[in-house]
Structure 1
Amino acid sequence: MNILSRRSTLRGAAAFTLAAAAPLAAGFGATRTVLAAAPISRMDLPWWRKRHEEKLKELADTQPTLIFLGDSITENWEKSGPPDWQEFQQAWKRFYGDRKAVNLGFKGDTTASLLWRIRNGEVANIKPKVAVVLIGANNFGRVHWDAEETVQGIDAIIGELRKRLPDTKILLLGVLPSDRSPWVTEQTATINKALARNYKSVPMVTYLDLTPIFMKGNTLNRSLFYDPLLSPPEAPLHPTAQGQALMSQTMEPVLSAMLGDRPHG
């Protein structure tokens, strides 16, 4: 993910279709739009539009008990190897295969695009027991939205879910650690501290930070990310299948309690 200057924020976001604005106070009566907290469509991308339409049908057919909302890290659960670092489906089936789970991860999505999907059918006419939310990593990419903006985007997502799915419990995951730049590392830590504080005692919302499973002491465990294995290699961002299996194992005690079923794994 290339990190651009602050000046490119609006230019980068202009590639999307702005579906609505979220004006917030900024100074003496002025307003500004925090794009991270505004629904932004990606329907101009044929693959994204096709996936959105397919997921609407899957949701209607499945009537899920469990949904996962996120970006490429969530979407990766649908991948199957070889190689073994890409064999995600094995853990998905083990932990979620009998739980009527639907994967609503979309590669490249920011908080803004997830918010658009929530407002445009992806939680309509369903009543899942739990929604797992993992979002925010792409806010640090070409749109270059910082921690403050990203937290506002995540808050908007949680608020929208609580309004549209009032009986659904939400498992909010912290933004996963990566090794893209010192700025990204700092912003990630700032977001997770804010989320831990903001959602300490919010009804129906449980916050869980999975950062520790990806660390060796104070250093990122690069072996749990597949990006360095690509050709050409990239900075660690996406967990391997083994890394995501560890995520599921760590989430499981919390998730099974929220679902009220037996522990899996």
Structure 2
Amino acid sequence: MSHTAHIPSHRKPRQSASKTALRAGVAGGVLSTIAVAGAAGPAQAEPVTQTIEMPTITAGLSTTVAASAQATQQVALDIETQAHEDAAAAYAAKTAKKAKAEAVRKAEAEKKAQAAAEAEAKAEAAERASRTAERTTLSASSDSSDSSVSSSSSPSYSSNATGSAASVVAFAQSQVGDAYVSGGTGPNSWDCSGLVQAAFRTVGVDLPRVSQSQSTAGTQVSLSNLQPGDILYWGGAGSAYHVGIYIGDGQFVGAQNSSTGVVQKSLDYDPPSGAVRVL
């Protein structure tokens, strides 16, 4: 016996011929199957058909949707109505503010006009008082220097005027001795322009009421060329403070002041500033 006979071999034991043949057959069958499958080509996929059922809207859901739409419409209508109301309120407020401003403006204008009228009335009253005082002073001065004429307030001259001028002169002379009253228009008391106006009214001539306007009511004439019936004025033309009527022969009739009343006097008694001819 060899000395190495007892040492086991490291080689694997050989498989039996039957097992080897079995394995070869199985492997061959598998490969054949793969080959046949490859030759046949890829298999066609069958289409998949699937039906999806949609939910059906029930009657309750339809009612809810309709109610929601109606509510939305009502909200829109409410918003529109509110917008109209806001616009109307804003317009009304603007109109009221404008009306108030206009009322305030008118009230202020009326107040100013009233104040101006009152101031004008006061100024006129003061001017009239001043004129009356001035005429009174002139009359007193003339009376003291003309003591030889004791009946100067009585007519001492019969005018030779004719026509309308004669009527004017006659009316003026008939008022001599009447009282002087500021603003007087007769029949028994006069102021200077009231007497002149009334005298010319007897012949159908309607003169302005105040002396300022009467001093420009006719044609300006020179004091050296006077005729009976001419209107004499004291002060400037258009700004006269006193008027009278020339009756001829260097004399005039006028409502002088509260002290003398209506008098007939010589022009030297109170020399006028100018004269106008109406007739």
With normalisation by structure 2, the TM-score equals 0.20
With normalisation by structure 1, the TM-score equals 0.21
Please say which structure displays the higher CA radius of gyration. Answer: 2
